[in-house]
Amino acid sequence: MNNTFIAGVGIHPFGRFDADYRQLGEHAVRAALSDAAVKPSEIDMVLVANVGAEMAKGHSVMNQIARTGVPIINVEAACASSGSALYLGSQLIETGAARIVLCLGVEKAPRGFIAASGYERWQIESGIGVNPVYFAIQAQELMASSGVTGEDLADVSVKNHRHAVHNPNAMYREECTREEVLASRAVCDPLTLLMLCSPNEGAAAAILMHRDEVARRDQRAAVRLRGVGLVSRGPDDWFVPAPSFQTERRSSITARAAALAYEQAGMGPSDLDVVECQDTDAASELIAYADLGLCAKGDEAHLLRSGSTELGGRIPVNPSGGLLSKGEPLGASGLGQVHEIVQQLRGRSGLRQIDGAAVGLTHVMGAGHNSCVMVMCS
Amino acid sequence: MSVDIGPHGPLNPPGDPRGVLRVSTCGDCSRTEFPAQDACPACGGASPRARLTVPGLLTRLTTVLFPPPGGLVPVPYAVGVVEFAEGISIMGRVIGEVAIGDAVTPAHAELPNGEETYVFEIASDRVD
């Protein structure tokens, strides 16, 4: 990618709030506009990622900010909704079809298990249409194919919660111990409550800008988007809501999305300084280590135990605290990651700043089989 | 390409010679799908209904402890993944005293609302 920059980001903290989704979205949009020094009238297109709100949600959010008449398009792809909006926006900028695109992710998710994840009625009624069952099965597969233990799963949660202590936008900001994670309520063996993220509420926005516009405006804090890989289900992928998979031919949507993003960026995993990945549950983060190329398959436990993925390590993963600490407002989670990486690359992450961070990666994946990986650099 | 779900989930009627689960196998690439699909999702080849070789091998097993939205089965209950000789692994509720590595077979079962479903149970001499 040659032309797409992120000129500004904004976020509404992730958590539980009295405010309507429109207010959450408005907050993030105003913050991003201010950060990018862009007026609403200068936006060419608005892309709004959301999973569960009403029809024309982006229109309702923007109605509170400005009625400029440009297209507003709502984008939904489960946990990859934000990534999908950013993918579309970057394509518009790259091809010159737009110079400034506002991408917003916003969500007000109900408490508890996520319902309506694409299951057939028979799956739901017979008790197998349950997202944590999929996470548990993946965790068991990881443990069977590597040295990953229950303690390692707990340690992912401990690490991410430690990171979140310094993130004012996270829902859970208290440290926890391995023992507390293991002793928290069992959900689906081997996963306990503190190894799973909570669906919640929040919003995040980014202003995508064409290179020429960045130069004209002298946007020195703009971050360059180098690669975006977005993939959906192939014949051999397995995730929510599929009730079966090909035993010997399982492929990874994350690995495919990562390969596309790296190729576009002309970079590889060894170039990265910081990663925000989809830690829907503790095992998902470890699975992403190999799928994103941070380590070889089977070496996930070794990478975690080495401390490399902690703040201060070689390649910190989820310095924001990840979804385990922030919670997951489905449509907003990906743009929340982008917010974190952009601020890290700008050196604006305060006590969780990674020294000299110059290249970062974001990763989302989720129901319906979607994954988006983005590589950006300062 | 339509997914063949049937009136009571992806099941064959009791006594059907093709067994309990409604699967298809591609005539071109031999890929088996559950639920059955008329056209292979990988190569597009015609995929007639097929019979799954039973028993299968229970490879994953977890327990659902909290009632999921819309679920009719009282918690706690077990859910597992069963690997079949046709190269497909299928999720389902598992009943009885079972452990990973056991040979299990699909069986018809009834939900509390009277609808039919399937479960996996320890393989026996029973013929469906």
Tens of pLDDT along A93-114? Answer: 999 999 999 999 999 998 877 7
pLDDT digits (tens, 9 = 90+) for A229-280: 999 999 999 999 999 999 998 899 999 999 999 999 999 999 999 999 999 9
Q: Is B118 on the interface with A (CB under 8 A)?
A: yes
pLDDT digits (tens, 9 = 90+) for A16-49: 999 999 999 999 999 999 999 999 999 999 999 9
Read off the tokens for A138: 């993946």
Which residues, other chains included, contact A312 with Cβ-Cβ below 8 Å and sequence gap of 6+? none
CA distance A346 to A48: 25
Q: Assess contact for A295 and A315: CB atoms under 8 A.
A: no
Burial class (CB in 10 A: 0-12, 13-18, 19+), A67: exposed
**Mean pLDDT over the full length of chain B:** 91
Residues A137, B77: C-beta atoms closer than 8 Å:
no
What is the C-alpha R_g of chain B?
15
CA distance B117 to B77: 15
What is the C-alpha R_g of chain A?
19
CA distance A37 to A39: 7
Average pLDDT over residues A168-187: 97
CA distance A43 to A101: 6
CA distance A362 to A375: 7
Contacts of A246 in chain B (CB under 8 A): 31, 87-89
Read off the tokens for A258: 């990562």
**Region label for A67, one of left (φ > 0), alpha (ψ between -120 and 50) or beta (otherwise):** beta
CA distance A309 to A356: 16
Q: Assess contact for A17 and A107: CB atoms under 8 A.
A: no
**3-class DSSP assignment, residue B36:** coil
Q: What is the pLDDT of residue B6?
A: 66
Contacts of A195 in chain B (CB under 8 A): none
CA distance A239 to A285: 15
CA distance A347 to A339: 12
Least Cα separation, residue B124 to chain A (angstroms): 23
Residues A128, B91: C-beta atoms closer than 8 Å:
yes
Cα A54 off chain centre by: 22
CA distance A69 to A65: 12
What does pTM read for this prediction? 0.96
DSSP character for A80?
A: T
Residues A122, B92: C-beta atoms closer than 8 Å:
no
Choose the closest CB to B87 out of A188, A243, A247. A247
**Start-to-end Cα distance in chain A:** 14
Q: Assess contact for A287 and A138: CB atoms under 8 A.
A: yes
Q: Assess contact for A328 and A198: CB atoms under 8 A.
A: yes
Contacts of A185 in chain B (CB under 8 A): 65
Q: What is the pLDDT of residue B128?
A: 47
pLDDT digits (tens, 9 = 90+) for B43-89: 999 999 999 999 999 999 999 999 898 999 999 999 999 999 999 99
CA distance A149 to A146: 9
Residue B7's pLDDT band (boundaries 50, 70, 90)? low
Residue A327 has pLDDT above 80, yes or no: yes
Residue A278 sits at φ, ψ, to 5 deg, of: -75, 90
DSSP character for B75?
A: S
Show the beta-strand stretches assigned E in chain A.
4-15, 45-49, 72-75, 100-108, 186-188, 191-192, 201-210, 223-232, 244-246, 274-276, 359-366, 370-377
Residues B65, A188: C-beta atoms closer than 8 Å:
yes
Show the beta-strand stretches assigned E in B1-128.
23-25, 32-33, 49-50, 56-64, 77-83, 88-94, 103-110, 116-122
CA distances for B9 relative to A173, A205, A321, B16, angstroms: 44, 41, 41, 15
Q: What is the pLDDT of residue B8?
A: 61
Please report the sign of the dihedral spanned by the C-alpha atoms of residue A2, residue A251, residue B95, residue A136: negative
Q: Is B83 on the interface with A (CB under 8 A)?
A: yes
Cα A90 off chain centre by: 17
Average pLDDT over residues A298-320: 98
Contacts of B83 in chain A (CB under 8 A): 247
Q: Assess contact for A272 and A315: CB atoms under 8 A.
A: yes
Q: Is A130 on the interface with B (CB under 8 A)?
A: yes
CA angle (A220, A221, A226) in 5-degree steps: 100
Residues B118, A126: C-beta atoms closer than 8 Å:
yes
CA distance A263 to A344: 23
Q: What is the pLDDT of residue B1?
A: 47
Task: For B93, name the nearest residue in chain A, comparing CA atoms only.
Answer: A128
Catalytic annotation present for A372: no
Residue B2's pLDDT band (boundaries 50, 70, 90)? low
Q: Assess contact for A224 and A377: CB atoms under 8 A.
A: yes
What is the ipTM score, two decimals?
Answer: 0.94
Neighbour tally for A23: CB within 10 Å: 16
**Mean pLDDT over the full length of chain A:** 96
Q: What percent of chain B has pLDDT over 70?
A: 91
Read off the tokens for B104: 């299990």
Q: What percent of chain A has pLDDT over 90?
A: 97
Q: What is the pLDDT of residue A16?
A: 97
Neighbour tally for B69: CB within 10 Å: 14
Read off the tokens for A353: 């700043």
pLDDT digits (tens, 9 = 90+) for B94-121: 999 999 999 999 999 999 998 899 999 9
CA distances for A275 relative to A176, A314, A320, A373, angstroms: 22, 11, 10, 10
